[in-house]
Amino acid sequence: MNWEQVRKLFLEWFLSEWEEIEKDFSEKTDKLIERLREQNYQIDRQTEELLRKLAEELYHKITALITHVVNAVNKTAKLQKDALVAQVAQEIINHRWNDGLKLSERFWDFSQQAIARLKNTIVEGIRYDNGVKALMYKLQYTIEALEEQEFAVVLKEQLPKWLKEFEQSTKGLLVNAESRQAWEKIKRKVEKYVEKRSREGTYYAGRQLLKEIEEALREGKMELVDKAVKWWVYDKQLYRLKTIAWTETAHAYLKATVELTKDEEEIVGYQWRLSRSHPRADICDVYANVDYGLGRGVHPKNKLPRLPAHPHCMCYLVPVVRRKGMEEREKPIIPESALESWAPKWLKKYAEENGLSLADLFNFEEGRFLRKREIGLS
Ligand SMILES: [Zn+2]
């Protein structure tokens, strides 16, 4: 059986499925923003309901993905263990991670956070409105109090300062580069108006200027709030969702591979394959390089480390068939090279001084180096 092929199919399938989830999420976020705009940025029950439903749909999509992955391993590897498939999928869906959360709770958490973010953004929008009022009041007062000639000079000097103050008070809306760009656009527009009207320098020009600035700021608000909502609800959450989707499906893939094959007589163990996206050496380097006498990184069935090794772990397992001449060791040999790059400095020093290897100072079962107090250093 070609397990590399199964893995490749799994990856392809995940990516195409994810693309669809992403597209759907993008469309739904746009709809949400449109709705908010129509409602003059009031969050009502229906808006909250919309977000909750979105989370629910995503939950169902990801559970379907998990079931599909388990099924696919079964089918592609021609294992025909259909009864086991449902059970394995269910275990993944109900799995409680180290942070104590199950998949469904993660999505509940997602919808709560999205609602909270939305509320924050709307509060910023209200602050913006108040800022516009204050700014307009200052401007009006100034214009009315000034003579014609001064009008031009004072506005050119004062307005940038006021705008800066205004910008400060609505910082929460300028959360990302895109919002800041939109704000710069608004500012440029205001500057242009000032330039034009100050040349006219009449009371009428002053009134006209007020109107124009207010309009520019009002129009700009929509853009700023929309961009902030999109940023919080879509950009920020999508990354989180992808992590959830990936972690859960990768877990499903690992678990399905093991659960569906572990009773096969001919399977002696599982080879730990490092994912290419591992940014730096960690416990997975050890797992991928241990030597139990079954080949590099091959763990005996009954000695498989906890899966996955750490959150966001993208490593995978490949079942290994028993071959002649394989002799299983009781304890694994850990190559020093798998430990060197991530061992703490003080430990390396300690090993050198005491003529020990790093493997001597490594707790393999728990996947970590010994602590200072464990070797009597503190
Ligand atoms: Zn890993």
**Ligand 1 centroid from CA 324, angstroms:** 29
**Ligand 1 centroid from CA 318, angstroms:** 14
Q: Is 302 exposed, middle or buried (0-12, 13-18, 19+ CB in 10 A)?
A: exposed
Q: Which domain holds residue 330?
A: 267-375
CA atoms of 28 and 37, how far apart (whole Å): 14
- The answer on 173 and 29 residing in a single domain is yes
Q: Which residues surround ligand 1, an ion (CB under 5 A)?
A: 284, 313, 315
Residue finishing a domain among 218, 243, 261: 261
**Ligand 1 centroid from CA 96, angstroms:** 19
Residue finishing a domain among 242, 261, 280: 261
- The answer on 178 and 34 residing in a single domain is yes
Inter-residue contact 25 to 58 (CB < 8 Å): yes
**Ligand 1 centroid from CA 98, angstroms:** 16
What pLDDT score was predicted for residue 77?
A: 84
What pLDDT score was predicted for residue 155?
A: 83
What pLDDT score was predicted for residue 205?
A: 86
**Ligand 1 centroid from CA 374, angstroms:** 26
**Ligand 1 centroid from CA 310, angstroms:** 7
CA atoms of 128 and 118, how far apart (whole Å): 15
- The answer on 125 and 238 residing in a single domain is yes
Residue numbers in the chain where pLDDT is lower than 70 = 1
Residue finishing a domain among 241, 261, 281: 261
Provide the token pair at 274.
Answer: 């490092």
Inter-residue contact 103 to 59 (CB < 8 Å): yes
- The answer on 280 and 226 residing in a single domain is no
What pLDDT score was predicted for residue 67?
A: 93
What pLDDT score was predicted for residue 1?
A: 67
CA atoms of 281 and 75, how far apart (whole Å): 34
- The answer on 352 and 232 residing in a single domain is no
Give me the number of domains the chain comprises. 2
- The answer on 230 and 110 residing in a single domain is yes
- The answer on 321 and 226 residing in a single domain is no
**Ligand 1 centroid from CA 339, angstroms:** 14
- The answer on 284 and 243 residing in a single domain is no
DSSP structure string for 329-358? -SS-B--THHHHTTS-HHHHHHHHHHT--G
Q: What is the mean pLDDT of the chain?
A: 90
What pLDDT score was predicted for residue 41?
A: 86
- The answer on 282 and 236 residing in a single domain is no
**Ligand 1 centroid from CA 322, angstroms:** 25
**Ligand 1 centroid from CA 345, angstroms:** 22
- The answer on 95 and 68 residing in a single domain is yes
- The answer on 143 and 22 residing in a single domain is yes
